[in-house]
Structure 1
Amino acid sequence: MRQTFDETTDPSFGARHLPLLRARMAEQGLDGFLIPHEDEHQNEYLPDANERLAWATGFTGSAGAAVVMRDRAAMFTDGRYTVQVKAQTDPALFERFDLGDVARYLEGAPQGAVIGYDPRLHSPDALAQLQEAASRAGATLKPVEVNPLDQAWGEGRPAQPAAPVVPHPDDYSGESHAAKRARIGKAVAKAGADAALLTAPSSIAWLFNVRGGDVIRSPLPIGQALLQADGRARLFLDSAKVTNALPAWLGDEVQIEAPERLAEALDALAGRRVMIDPALSSAWYFDRLEQAGATAVRAPDPCAVPRAVKNAVEIEGSRQAHIRDGAALSRFLHWVDTTAQQTLPDEREVVEALERFREETGALKDLSFDTIAGAGPNGALPHYKPVTRTIRRIEKGSLLLVDGGGQYLDGTTDVTRTVAVGEPSADQRRMFTLVLKAHIAMATIRFPPGTSGMALDAIARAPLWHAGLDYDHGTGHGVGSYLGVHEGPQRIAKWGTSQPLLEGMILSNEPGYYREGHWGIRIETLQVVTPAVVPEGGERPMHGFEQLTFAPLDRRLIEVGLLRPDERAYVDAYHAETLAKVGPLLDGEAKTWLAQACAPL
């Protein structure tokens, strides 16, 4: 029976599957095996066929890892999944640690232990740290030719996806793929390389102006490409994905080939310099290039920053997608504030309602991720999604946190709203307002060119820090243009990247507060970096953010007395703009409700 990974995943997976894995490990002489969440393309969201970590452990989050030894095992997750991992994995089978502690765990491996890894699943950057840690313990990391987990999974493993790859018109992309290939080819040559090996699905989709459906909730095609410095390219795709329109769309300068030809193509690169990203491409590619006699030029994916810097067409498309999505969300919030307050639906019904309103736009291609609806205590789980065992009904006196987004041809959305069910308490109002102050701080910040998101993160957290509070996730992530809802290299977080925030980059703004066992609060909108201009009376040019998301905040949760005059003015201006942009798309009771929801504080 084929296994899919949704609400059926549970802690019993470990008890059933670890013995199967350990038997295969023993056949290969392995004392341990590393299981990353990432797949062969370093995807965050995976096809069911690549959900190896979920199969072995039961954990379905988008960030994690496991180390399975002969007599013990460990599970590693980040702060978003502290509660989820407890619910989905068996504590009798897995010790639990922070995701940053994998190397430290390997330092405790038995001397002489041989720990296997699949070189197709680990980037060389990540692998180097683990190899050093194992070496300090006197253990060895050994690449495997055949993944023992894949062997153990056997016939129950789902088939690899083969969704059609279709053109993404220039009306949405704003630049032809020929122009992109020429531009990126020049960057490859400037880096001293003859070609670039691209393995990230988002880069494939962006560079060739195509979209697919191999990755859940993201219109991405799984494949690889070799881009020459002159702009010509070889694109390796399963023939089942190649639609009739694709060859003509790509033209004579792009050769479509079967994935089985990739190894041969790499072997033919002897003596050539090949640009490849050690953070995104797996160690297998580096090993193959070395064996072929090619030189790997380690450099960031040359498509990453150009993809993140949206052009005028993409920015305008995002504006329109968000207005359309904002109307759907406003209809949903009207439903929550009226019908749901009386019927007190469960979380699954809340999710279905929001998805129905998005579908009614007639433009929705897919969700941008599985909708999160957390009632009461479930709202305290930042990446919670309603599953059979945990579904709650919303309750009077509590909060409902809803986080969702849509994939539209002209843009990708991601928005979170927290609403009161019944009359909110003074404590709920205070906490919501502190999160709102954090949100406003990031929405209104000005910063000089060259500033990274890491440098801005503390500005959002300051109102919460001042009150002795914090949240265990980043303040903002990059977002694609009808691509992934999580897109690098830009982000706003305590940790991570020194990548400057550049004009045209889209990021989320999502501070929060989570009281475990009670409720959670998050306010999220998307915003785009504006051109750097000298503010009136200033001396230096400064970037800022233009708001893209428009949907009302729950005014019942705002403690106006905690807001400064400028913060109160921001809320009123934001609501006025929401009414002006979204209001014309509504009618009847929903339009009347929106006018009341957007009234001045």
Structure 2
Amino acid sequence: MFQTYDPPSESGARGDRLVALRAELTRRGLDGFIVPRTDTHQNEYVAPCEERLAWLTGFGGSAGAAVVLQDKAAIFVDGRYTLQVRNQVDTTAFEPLHLIETPPSSWIARTAKPGMCIGYDAMLHTINGVKTLKAACEKAGVKLVAVDGNPIDAIWSDRPEPPLAPVVLHPMAFAGEAASDKIARLQAELREAKTDAAVIAQLDSIAWLFNIRGGDIARIPVTLAFAILRADAAPQLFIDGRKLSGNVAETLGHLAEIAEPEGFLPALDAFSGKCVLVDPDWGAQAIADRLVAAGAKLRFGSDPVLLPKALKNTAEIDGARAAHRRDGAAYARFLKWFTEEAPKGGLDEISTAKALETFRAETGKLKDISFDTISGSGPNGAIVHYRVTTDTCRPIEMNSLYLCDSGAQYEDGTTDVTRTFAVGEPSADMKREFTLVLKGHIGLSSARFPQGTSGAQLDTLARIPLWKGGLDFDHGTGHGVGSYLSVHEGPQRIAKTNKVPLQPGMIVSNEPGTYRTGKWGIRIENLELVSPASAIEGGERPMLSLETLTLIPIDRKLIETDLLTGEERAWVDAYHARVLQEIGPLVDEETRAWLEGATAPLEG
């Protein structure tokens, strides 16, 4: 399952593709084209047949876009990929820019000339995204045009076929609620809101709603499909019938009207005069265009599945806890092996990541890793979302830091954990910065907060110790996590701009870090379950807290105990005591003996 990403090795081949794209644009009467890194469902991970940005540019990250004009081109990535993009993309052909600081819309506004005609694929851009692009184009006197057929597809001669992984039913023991009950619950909400239907485009929403899982997208157990949830009739599910076995087809047939994917857009024509809910942050512009043309009344709002999916029920919470105990035991075995083998030399980023996956696979429960493992040694650890290739793979050297961000997909839960380890003796600077990250992690993990508090309000707690030390990190502090679904799930996040109130049952990550370009990266990540807090003496309001799900030791060798307060030291000791208590009985005697040392109380 572990794979390295090796972008096209010949920059000349990518140059030929850029030339071919420009020729195709000229044939269509276009002066430019926008290439997002997404598919028709706005997925973070996409099928090989949807990797248009990687095919054109060589960039292998999970977020980005390119704009190609006849005389210049730019590629846009966020703060996670500012180093990676320069390693993978020919910067003489594509100017690398920050996706947030200089988004494609602002680049177009200042670069495109009046009278130009720039194309876009309306199935690959959200409604809100197109709104921003149109405003920028109008400002520049440029015409933004939806293309009939993607021009990259026209020149991509060996484009892979769409995936056809079989669909499986997700057991009630893990789902915790029948699909028919979920559908009825959301239909009642639509009726209450006087809405006739809702378009469901997100694949994890469809998987959750119908209690199905698939294998069309790497790392996320979903199936390519669209759905229309109707308030007063059975939902419609548009999915390739070749993926449905007899039992699955029969079960879904009792829940929904099943049709082939090409029937999705035409089915929207039936909603003339009806009120249809579309999520402007996830729904493609082509969906809105089709509904408007049909005479439907558009209602913009959040995907109705998002919040119910994020609020884990008892079965999903029990599954998450079980998955993390299993994952913790596998990781403990890996850590014992790593601490013994790394000082000998011979390990590198790829072999170590493969070893970790092997330990997880030996549980007999691993379905897949939950994302491409970030295995960064030394300076590669400073690349926030580093994806190791055979060309970039570094040995794990003595007196260095190794950062590993990884996760697993089990049928009962999804895990995501980052640990940073010292190989040999860490320097004083390494220990200082690691401890500041740890203080931020503890600050968030220990938080008590009233109902209605958002991730934006909590984000600062993880940054204050780093700010005091003159440090920060250019990514959110945490993201939502699904239940045997996407490792990145909304609507909740721990981030500066996320205003969604945290509610019991939500799972979020807690992952502050700091990154020294050319030297090392440090990140500590646990998953946390939002839960009611125990009563506080003298308090007058009910509070929420974060229950840590991840049960994996933190490298004590990297902790500068003098920088910790008494409460912070108590947190570390209590966390490690819990790791030993819950994971110790699940591992062999040798691993338990190692674990006892790794979780011993802090000294000094």
Instruction: Give the TM interval when normalised to the shorter protein.
Output: over 0.9
Pick closer, same or farther for the CA change 1:36–1:5 going to 2, 3 Å.
farther
Report the Cα distance in structure 1 between the residues aligned to 2:232 and 2:384, rounded to whole angstroms: 45
Query: Which residue identity does 1:160 align to in structure 2?
Result: P
Shift of 1:191: 2.2
The answer to whether 1:464 aligns with 2:463 is no
- What residue number does 1:381 align with? 383
Shift of 1:6: 2.5
- What residue number does 1:116 align with? 119
Show the 5 A alignment for 1:449-528: 449-495=451-497, 497-528=498-529
Shift of 1:537: 2.4
Query: Which residue identity does 1:595 align to in structure 2?
Result: E
**Contact 1:181 1:231 (8 Å CA) reproduced:** no
SS of the residue corresponding to residue 246 of structure 2 reads coil
Report the Cα distance in structure 1 between the residues aligned to 2:322 and 2:74, rounded to whole angstroms: 46
Report the Cα distance in structure 2 between the residues aligned to 1:453 and 1:11, rounded to whole angstroms: 43
Q: Which of these residues, 342, 345, 359, is aligned with residue 344 of structure 2? A: 342
Shift of 1:16: 2.6
**What RMSD in Å do the two structures reach over aligned CA positions?**
1.3
Report the Cα distance in structure 2 between the residues aligned to 1:165 and 1:582, rounded to whole angstroms: 33
Report the Cα distance in structure 2 between the residues aligned to 1:470 and 1:481, rounded to whole angstroms: 30
Report the Cα distance in structure 2 between the residues aligned to 1:127 and 1:479, rounded to whole angstroms: 27
**Contact 2:328 2:551 (8 Å CA) reproduced:** yes
Shift of 1:9: 3.3
**Contact 1:576 1:598 (8 Å CA) reproduced:** yes
Report the Cα distance in structure 2 between the residues aligned to 1:413 and 1:358, rounded to whole angstroms: 11
Pick closer, same or farther for the CA change 1:43–1:5 going to 2, 3 Å.
farther
Report the Cα distance in structure 2 between the residues aligned to 1:301 and 1:268, rounded to whole angstroms: 20
The answer to whether 1:25 aligns with 2:25 is yes
Report the Cα distance in structure 2 between the residues aligned to 1:314 and 1:11, rounded to whole angstroms: 46
Shift of 1:11: 7.0
- What residue number does 1:74 align with? 74
The answer to whether 1:150 aligns with 2:149 is no
Shift of 1:342: 1.3
The one-character-per-residue Cα deviations of 1:250-278 (angstroms, maximum 9, x if unpaired) are 25241211112223311112121111111
User: Which range is displaced more, 477-486 or 15-24?
Assistant: 15-24
Show the 5 A alignment for 1:88-237: 88-100=88-100, 101-108=103-110, 109-154=112-157, 156-230=158-232, 232-237=234-239
User: Which range is displaced more, 586-595 or 298-307?
Assistant: 586-595
SS of the residue corresponding to residue 33 of structure 1 reads strand
Query: Which residue identity does 1:89 align to in structure 2?
Result: V
The one-character-per-residue Cα deviations of 1:422-478 (angstroms, maximum 9, x if unpaired) are 011111111110000010001001111111101111111000001110011110000
Report the Cα distance in structure 2 between the residues aligned to 1:253 and 1:443, rounded to whole angstroms: 41
Structure 1: gaps spanning 5 or more residues: none
Report the Cα distance in structure 2 between the residues aligned to 1:314 and 1:183, rounded to whole angstroms: 18
Shift of 1:331: 0.8
TM-score normalised to structure 2 length: 0.97
Shift of 1:295: 1.4
SS of the residue corresponding to residue 107 of structure 1 reads helix
**Contact 1:5 1:48 (8 Å CA) reproduced:** no
TM-score normalised to structure 1 length: 0.97
The one-character-per-residue Cα deviations of 1:270-293 (angstroms, maximum 9, x if unpaired) are 121111111111000100111111
Pick closer, same or farther for the CA change 1:575–1:231 going to 2, 3 Å.
farther
Query: Which residue identity does 1:7 align to in structure 2?
Result: D
Query: Which residue identity does 1:257 align to in structure 2?
Result: A
User: Which range is displaced more, 190-199 or 34-43?
Assistant: 190-199
- What residue number does 1:561 align with? 562
Report the Cα distance in structure 1 between the residues aligned to 2:94 and 2:267, rounded to whole angstroms: 42
- What residue number does 1:42 align with? 42
Query: Which residue identity does 1:271 align to in structure 2?
Result: G
Shift of 1:343: 3.0
SS of the residue corresponding to residue 530 of structure 1 reads strand
Report the Cα distance in structure 2 between the residues aligned to 1:202 and 1:485, rounded to whole angstroms: 10
The answer to whether 1:330 aligns with 2:338 is no
The answer to whether 1:295 aligns with 2:294 is no
- What residue number does 2:53 align with? 53
Shift of 1:538: 1.5
Aligned residues: 596
**Contact 1:9 1:59 (8 Å CA) reproduced:** no
Query: Which residue identity does 1:98 align to in structure 2?
Result: H
SS of the residue corresponding to residue 567 of structure 2 reads helix
SS of the residue corresponding to residue 268 of structure 1 reads helix
SS of the residue corresponding to residue 162 of structure 1 reads coil
- What residue number does 1:586 align with? 587
Report the Cα distance in structure 1 between the residues aligned to 2:368 and 2:145, rounded to whole angstroms: 40
Structure 2: gaps spanning 5 or more residues: none
User: Which range is displaced more, 264-273 or 69-78?
Assistant: 264-273
Shift of 1:247: 2.5
Query: Which residue identity does 2:6 align to in structure 1?
Result: E
SS of the residue corresponding to residue 484 of structure 2 reads coil
Structure 1 moving runs of 4+ over 4 Å: none
The answer to whether 1:419 aligns with 2:421 is yes
Show the 5 A alignment for 1:253-402: 253-402=255-404
The answer to whether 1:62 aligns with 2:37 is no
Report the Cα distance in structure 2 between the residues aligned to 1:187 and 1:61, rounded to whole angstroms: 37
Query: Which residue identity does 1:125 align to in structure 2?
Result: N
**Contact 1:184 1:231 (8 Å CA) reproduced:** no
**Contact 2:8 2:14 (8 Å CA) reproduced:** no
User: Which range is displaced more, 41-50 or 98-107?
Assistant: 98-107
Shift of 1:8: 3.7
- What residue number does 1:9 align with? 8
The answer to whether 1:536 aligns with 2:537 is yes
Query: Which residue identity does 2:494 align to in structure 1?
Result: I
Q: Which of these residues, 239, 242, 250, is aligned with residue 240 of structure 1? A: 242
